[in-house]
Amino acid sequence: MVDELIEQIRLATKAITDFGIHLFDPTIRLGVTGLSHAGKTVFISALIHGLVRGGRFPIFEALAGGRIARAYLAPQPDDAVSRFDYENHIAAMVNKRDWPSSTRQISELRVVIEFQSLSGHQRKLTLDVVDYPGEWLLDLPLLTKTYETWASETLRLSRERPRSDLAKSWHLHLAKLDPLAPGDEQQALTAARLFTEYLRACRDQNYALSLLPPGRFLMPGDLANTPALTFAPLDLPTEVPPPAGSLWAMMRRRYESYRAVVVRPFFRDHFARLDRQIVLVDTLAAINAGPEALGDLEHALNEVLTAFEVGRRTLFSALLRPRIDRILLAATKADHLHHTSHDRLENILRRLAQRAISKAEVAGAQVDVVALSAVRATREATARRGRQQLPCVVGVPLPGEAVVGEIFDGVTEVAIFPGDLPDDPNDLLLGDINAFRGLATTSLQNVDFRFLRVRPPALELTENGVPALPHIRLDRALQFLIGDKFV
């Protein structure tokens, strides 16, 4: 209680300070999140490059209308948060045509945008972009769950296929544990290790399962090997309270520490201060992994958007509740598909998030969905196969990428026929994976394209002669996220 009160006072002071700054120099904090490899690093780098250098953004009205005088990087406000490594990420993509290294922790970058308001006044908008792992966001619902609820939910999920196959070693160990017996450090260590291995196997590309709290088990950062990360679910007897000194009591206490040390500070110091949020989703990876992964993603999206609502309702008073009023869900890497499938990709994500979107809207946030490619690494072409004309995407696979006996050299272009996504998203959810299957062709040899990663593209000149990174619908995302602030 006292802790909560102190948190509230701290947050209130912060909110008031932020508000003061807002009056003279409006600031927006934009959260960028998504699970590991969803495309956060590439998205932020491309977004800032486009703003600072002047990308081709016809749908971002303020820029397209010539009202943005200039945008530049400025020192970030939070001294204890890493700076987003923008320069190196851009150098990797532009100079080496290689992808940047991915997000592993929270980082931040500030961009100041000078623009002319609609009434002709010179204004300044400060945009703080905050990059954080989606795994941490999926932890927020833990704030409302006891150890017992979390353990029983996690166990239930792990007993469903395909998770049950991945959980075998952990389940074998779990069966040997007596929650009422005295707490034993070695047992806790083994349980936590096997549980973490299970979570990691679920994240594997072939499964691409999304719902894996506690997030720090997969992204421990500086908390690796601490007791706060050394717990696991137990098969618990109902009704009985945990005896003092038992394994159950030990696990429960560590779960409470995890919430106190990891989840609450993240909520208080970062999440509660965001104004806008984009959630990046590698929808194609889930489609490729099959219907279970899609079902799981649907569940995870629901949890993610519940996190926004949870924050509002239960944790803090009205003054302090999270103020996120716009949430964009984005299916990333759309350049793997021909443009005829972009709207379908968007519809699939919308369908997966349907339930969650209505909840977030009820909680007062505006939600939109877009299929985008922050950096478009392919171009389109038509390949001929016998009499058939196939709409393809053409790209250069990364050196070392291999499919069916062929290893790519990082120079050769490949035409990929990605196949069409189904018109009706339910075809995929009901398990018709054949609804979407494509192939790649080099010397017209058929190969499965599905995990082929291509190199970033060369810069392209815009109409104004500015070298820019090509993209798909990045400007639409920008317009939704901050377009209304340029009035």
- In one-letter notation, the amino acid at residue 160 is E
Could you say which residues in the range 60-99 bind ligand GDP, by CB under 6 A?
99
CB of 419 to ligand GDP, least distance (A): 16
CB of 336 to ligand GDP, least distance (A): 6
Q: Are 349 and 369 in contact (CB under 8 A)?
A: yes
Contact mark string toward ligand GDP, 170..189, x via CB under 6 A: --------------------
Residue selected from 8, 36, 366, 441 as contacting ligand GDP according to rule CB under 6 A: 36
Residue selected from 454, 477, 478, 481 as contacting ligand GDP according to rule CB under 6 A: 454
Could you say which residues in the range 362-391 bind ligand GDP, by CB under 6 A?
373-375, 377
37 is a contact residue toward ligand GDP (CB under 6 A): yes
Residue selected from 102, 116, 152, 226 as contacting ligand GDP according to rule CB under 6 A: 102
Residue selected from 173, 355, 453, 485 as contacting ligand GDP according to rule CB under 6 A: 453
34 is a contact residue toward ligand GDP (CB under 6 A): yes
Instruction: Give the interface size with ligand GDP as a residue count (CB under 6 A).
Output: 21
CB of 117 to ligand GDP, least distance (A): 32
CB of 333 to ligand GDP, least distance (A): 4
CB of 28 to ligand GDP, least distance (A): 21
3-state secondary structure the chain: CHHHHHHHHHHHHHHHHHHHHHHHCCEEEEEEEECCCCCHHHHHHHHHHHHHHCCCCCCCHHHHCCCEEEEEEECCCCCCCEECCHHHHHHHHHCCCCCCCCCCCCEEEEEEEEEECCCCCEEEEEEEEEECCHHHHCCHHHHHCCHHHHHHHHHHHHCCCCHHHHCHHHHHHHHCCCCCCECCHHHHHHHHHHHHHHHHHHHCCCCCCCCCCCHHHCCCHHHCCCHHHCCCCCCCCCCCCCCCCEHHHHHHHHHHHHHHHHHHHHHHHCHHHCCEEEEEECHHHHHHHCHHHHHHHHHHHHHHHHHHHHHHHHHCCHHHCCCCCEEEEEECCHHHCCHHHHHHHHHHHHHHHHHHHHHHHHCCCEEEEEECECCCCCEEEEEEECCEEEEEEEECECCCCEECCEECCCCCCEEEECCCCCCCCHHHHCCCHHHCCCEEECCCCEECCCCCCECCCCCEECCCCCEECCCECHHHHHHHHHHHHCC
Residue selected from 335, 368, 401, 475 as contacting ligand GDP according to rule CB under 6 A: 335
345 is a contact residue toward ligand GDP (CB under 6 A): no
In whole angstroms, give the CA distance from residue 76 to residue 122: 22
Residue 39 or 425: which CB sits closer to ligand GDP? Answer: 39
Residue 42 or 357: which CB sits closer to ligand GDP? Answer: 42
CB of 355 to ligand GDP, least distance (A): 24
333 is a contact residue toward ligand GDP (CB under 6 A): yes
CB of 112 to ligand GDP, least distance (A): 24
In whole angstroms, give the CA distance from residue 479 to residue 62: 9
CB of 45 to ligand GDP, least distance (A): 8
Residue 102 or 126: which CB sits closer to ligand GDP? Answer: 102
41 is a contact residue toward ligand GDP (CB under 6 A): yes
Residue 177 or 440: which CB sits closer to ligand GDP? Answer: 440
Residue span binding ligand GDP (CB under 6 A) among the ranges 29-37, 52-60, 204-212, 419-427: 29-37
In whole angstroms, give the CA distance from residue 174 to residue 196: 13
Residue 31 or 39: which CB sits closer to ligand GDP? Answer: 39
CB of 337 to ligand GDP, least distance (A): 10
CB of 351 to ligand GDP, least distance (A): 22
Residue span binding ligand GDP (CB under 6 A) among the ranges 193-201, 204-212, 329-337, 386-394: 329-337
Q: Give burial (CB, 10 Å; 0-12/13-18/19+) of 472.
A: buried
CB of 454 to ligand GDP, least distance (A): 6
Residue 191 or 452: which CB sits closer to ligand GDP? Answer: 452
In whole angstroms, give the CA distance from residue 274 to residue 84: 17
Residue 34 or 141: which CB sits closer to ligand GDP? Answer: 34
103 is a contact residue toward ligand GDP (CB under 6 A): yes
264 is a contact residue toward ligand GDP (CB under 6 A): no
Q: Is 225 left (phi over 0), alpha (psi -120 to 50) or beta?
A: left
State the residues that interact with ligand GDP by CB under 6 A. 34, 36-42, 99-100, 102-103, 332-333, 335, 373-375, 377, 453-454
